[in-house]
Amino acid sequence: MAKYGRYGPEPVPTSELPRRFPERKFTELGEHRGVVDGEPLMIRPGGLRSRGYLVNIGLATPLGKALVRGQGYLGMTRGRCFVIPLGPLRTWLRPKMDHKMIDIYLDLSSETLLSAGLGRISVSEFGGHKRRRVRAG
């Protein structure tokens, strides 16, 4: 069961990602970055807001530069965790690519991303396996 803090479910530790995504190969896994299947992984838990978990993407940051190229993954460590390829994300965010900063929100209840002025995009196919509880006895 997820731990709940003041602002909803606590972020899942990055060390849990390989167990949530057993079909993927994680290397160089740190708190904010890693490598998955040979591609860069930018890990952001997001901060809870009324629309969902907010991730700010500055296009001058490593995450923003990877998004512009459409290479790598965005790891969102809330709920069952999501490893979202940046290619489809770039296509969805194309109308906003001339901005310096893009805000996206993860809505855990519908497993979608949303951004002002754009429709929702489903990320359920990029979600990890839920953590299995081990029964004592």
Evaluate whether residue 9 is within a structural domain. no
Query: Is residue 136 included in any domain, yes or no?
Result: no
Q: What is the DSSP letter of 90?
A: H
Residue 57: inside a domain: yes
Residue 40 lies in a domain: yes
Terminal C-alpha separation, the chain:
19
Burial of 3 (0-12, 13-18, 19+ CB in 10 A): exposed
Output the pTM of the full model.
0.88
pLDDT tens track for 14-61: 999 999 999 999 999 999 999 999 999 999 999 999 999 999 999 999
Return d(Cα 40, Cα 70) in angstroms, integer.
11
pLDDT score of 65 more than 70? yes
Q: How many domains does the chain have?
A: 1
For residue 32, being part of any structural domain is answered with yes
Report the distance separating Cα 69 and Cα 46, nearest Å.
22
Q: What is the pLDDT of residues 109-126, one digit of tens each?
A: 999 999 999 999 999 999
* pLDDT value, residue 134: 44
What is the DSSP code (8-state) at residue 47? E
> 60 lies in a domain?
yes
Q: What tokens were used for 112?
A: 């979608």
Confirm whether 4 is domain-assigned.
no
**Residue 134 in domain:** no
Residue-number span of the structural domain to which 82 is assigned: 15-126
